Amino acid sequence: MIIGLVWPEPTSSAAGTRMVQLIDLFLNSGYQITFACAALKSDFSFDFTGRNVSEHQIKLNDSSFNLFVKDLNPAIVLFDRFMVEEQYGWRVQQECPDALRILDTEDLHFLRTAREQSIKKQIATDLFSDLAKREIASILRSDLSLIISETEMKILIQQFKINGSILHYLPFLEKEIMPEIASNWIPFEQRADFVFIGNFLHEPNWNTVQTLKNKIWPTLRKKIPGASLNIYGSYTSQKVLQLENKSEKFFIKGRADDARVTLAKHRVLLAPIQFGAGVKGKFIDAMLVGTPSVTTQIGAEAMKGDLPWSGFIEDDYEVFINKAVDLYQDRTLWLSAQANGIQILNQRYNSRHFIANFNFRVADLQTKLTLHRENNFFGQILNHQAIQYTKYMSLWIEEKNKHKSSS
């Protein structure tokens, strides 16, 4: 059983793509899946038709979930982000104590938030926040946490002293880019303009668009007068739309029906990302269709390993702009960057490199779950009923809701 924070929307966010990849991973390993979620579906929610996935609408702070999960009795429960584990983890533990509990962190929320505060308030990055305490408590309560970034693995192990036995590195899972695929990409000469893409509900994306509008594009457009900058993203609010300036060729395009198709027709992806965490799905999509990029250290964090980037990584705005011009105008440089992207995808995100190891890890944990939990003593402490504040807060809300409905 997967408990989603939202119904996955792979056309809206990298988080949605990640969830669909995890679903397919378990399906290909022979599991039957129940996807449960308390959120409402949208017009862009993923259609599970054709997959062996049953759907179930659940409630927050309601004991009906206990009856549901007890009857289902899943062998594995995967929580979509720590907030979901806080809400439902204790109920799963109570009704299905033998179920393997896996947390998919997506990215470390406390890390992203700390970096955001550091940038906006011009202060040192403080990782040891109340949000960090909540998220790391969730990691400790779980049997295994999936981490999408090697940088985040290091932070958890080195700075927070988390035992690596309860962590598992699992990046985006992509198919290998074969030569015949790359040969069919839209060539340099047939591509035009710069592009940015990102879900606007995600604060790092909104901040990046503001940076492009105010710090990058005013100078860049003068260096390449014929080019435009096209901004794509789901959940485009009025504050985003009002940034459009047709005379400056700064266009807000809204939702892209297919991110990869959209990226494939543009020549260069611009992403001067100032804060964030995890790894960025926009760069995966760009590399998969041969679109080089210019980004920052934070933007490319944990993505390339020791390999050269598919374009340029620059934090200085002036250098960033000059590199964007070079990449846009120099066909040889552009093709070299494209080849770097193929190398990054095939060496670091090829699903064949990760699936067998993950399946073995899950199977091994299921056979040794009691011993595994005994070795995670801090997790036992946090799962002890005397300090399960999330459980009692939920029960209090449930009783409060019952009182409201009866009065």
- Confidence (pLDDT) at 235: 94
- Confidence (pLDDT) at 392: 75
pLDDT band at 391 (very low <50, low <70, confident <90, very high): confident
Question: In this predicted structure, which of 82-96, 284-298, 376-390 has the lowest mean pLDDT?
Answer: 376-390
* Residue 385 clears pLDDT 90, i.e. is over it: no
pLDDT tens digit string along 236-279? 999 999 999 999 999 999 999 999 999 999 999 999 999 999 99
Q: CB within 8 A of 406, min separation 6: which ones?
A: none
pLDDT tens digit string along 305-345? 999 999 999 999 999 999 999 999 999 999 999 999 999 99
Q: In what order do the strands lie in the sheet with 268-271?
A: 250-254, 229-232, 194-197, 268-271, 293-295, 311-313
* Residue 291 clears pLDDT 70, i.e. is over it: yes
Rounded to the nearest 5°, which phi and psi values hold at 7? -70, 130
Q: CB within 8 A of 34, min separation 6: which ones?
A: 1, 2, 53, 54, 55, 56, 72, 74
pLDDT tens digit string along 151-162? 999 999 999 999
H or E, element range at 375:
helix 369-375
Q: 140: which 2 tokens?
A: 């400790």
The upper half-sphere exposure of residue 106, i.e. CA atoms within 13 Å in the direction of its Cβ, equals 24
* Residue 192 clears pLDDT 70, i.e. is over it: yes
Q: 304: which 2 tokens?
A: 């390339």
* Residue 205 clears pLDDT 70, i.e. is over it: yes
Q: Using an 8 Å Cβ cutoff, are 317 and 216 in contact? A: yes
Ramachandran region of residue 404, left (φ > 0), alpha (ψ -120 to 50) or beta? alpha
Q: Using an 8 Å Cβ cutoff, are 141 and 176 in contact? A: no
* Residue 150 clears pLDDT 80, i.e. is over it: yes
**Residues 14-26, mean pLDDT to the nearest whole number:** 97
Looking at every residue in the chain, the average pLDDT score rounds to 96
* Residue 387 clears pLDDT 60, i.e. is over it: no
- Confidence (pLDDT) at 402: 82
Q: What is the DSSP string of 226-275?
A: T--EEEE-SS--HHHHTT-BGGGTEEEEE--S-HHHHHHTSSEEEE---S
Rounded to the nearest 5°, which phi and psi values hold at 36? -115, 140
Name the percent of the chain lying above pLDDT 70: 98
Domains in the chain (CATH in brackets) are: 2-173+354-406 (3.40.50.2000), 179-349 (3.40.50.2000)
pLDDT tens digit string along 227-242? 999 999 999 999 999 9
Question: In this predicted structure, which of 18-27, 81-90, 376-385 has the lowest mean pLDDT?
Answer: 376-385
pLDDT band at 147 (very low <50, low <70, confident <90, very high): very high
pLDDT tens digit string along 29-82? 999 999 999 999 999 999 999 999 999 999 999 999 999 999 999 999 999 999
pLDDT band at 176 (very low <50, low <70, confident <90, very high): very high
Q: What is the DSSP string of 342-368?
A: HHHHHHHSBGGGTHHHHHHHHHHHHHS
Q: What's the CA gap between 359 and 376, in Å, rounded? A: 21
Q: 2: which 2 tokens?
A: 């997967």
Q: 395: which 2 tokens?
A: 């029960």
**Residues 205-210, mean pLDDT to the nearest whole number:** 98
pLDDT tens digit string along 116-128? 999 999 999 999 9
CB atoms within 10 A of CB 107: 20
Closest CA to 102 of 168, 14, 17: 168
